[in-house]
Amino acid sequence: MMNYKIKIGTRESNLALYQAIEVEKKIRNLGFETEIVKIKTHGDMDQKPFSISKDFGLFTKKINEELLNEDIDIAVHSMKDLPSEIEEGIKIIAVLKRDFYEDFFVSYKNIFELENGKKVGTSSQRRKSFLKMLRPDLEIVDVRGNVETRIKRLENNEIDALILSLAGIKRLNLSVPGHVLDPDIFVPQANQGIIVILTRKNFFLNDKISEINDSETFIIAYVEREFLKVMNAGCHSSLGVLARYKGNRIILHLAYIDEKRYDYYTNFQFDNLNEEIIKFRRWFYGR
């Protein structure tokens, strides 16, 4: 069994490859040979703004198809890109330990110091909505492409600032000006900063691969995804969801924009998740 070469499917970007290599290291520590398979996704080819796209799973669907076709054995994704419902026949087998979940404001000036009318680049509907609420005087510009491409637009003075995930900046070891956005003001996207590994439900090595799972991050990821399902939201929504451990309890902050801003805070033990979801539904529909 240990002579089996596990094929790891991933996008082609430098960030995606970094994440796949991190998974590859852990798979090799289990004693397996590995091969990284680069796959171009629909989201890599279609540069339309996310706001006009109706397709969920832009960065995951093609890779998951390759997984179901048995052209690869596992798929590695940024978990925030996964739709709240994944394809039949596939399962989340593991996540790596979450490191950074915050957003980063790339600029020589603080988000509150940037002059009126300056251009801020982002393709995320959530980031656009939160930015409009905080700074309605700024101009928001759709910026697609990999991290390096977006930073290049800032360096070329096409935009005055940029919002990226802190995890991406750290993983690529980039040195850029700016500051971390307070996650309780600029609430992150659900599962931001989490690397997820998918397999086929019937893959014969599932038990072995699951050994690389970080159980604490897995629970946090599950909680955030369950609230995504309640909201029927995906990666194109203006919803921020952040679950954090405090002792043996989970602190949840959910925020979204619908003409005004709505915030929901709660803390609970994981065993009481269903009761918390019921409480949230009452708050959401009765607000």
In the annotation, is 81 catalytic? yes
Residue whose token pair is 């796959």: 39
198: Cβ–Cβ under 8 A, 6 or more apart, which residues? 64, 67, 74, 75, 76, 77, 86, 90, 91, 92, 93
Give dist(CA 59, CA 107) in Å, integer: 27
Point out the catalytic residue in the list 44, 73, 81, 103.
81
Q: Characterize 4-39 residue by residue with b for buried, 16 or more Cβ atoms within 10 angstroms of its Cβ, and e for exposed.
A: eebbbbbbebebbbebbeebbebbeeeebebebbeb
Give dist(CA 125, CA 58) in Å, integer: 15
Which residues are known catalytic residues? 81
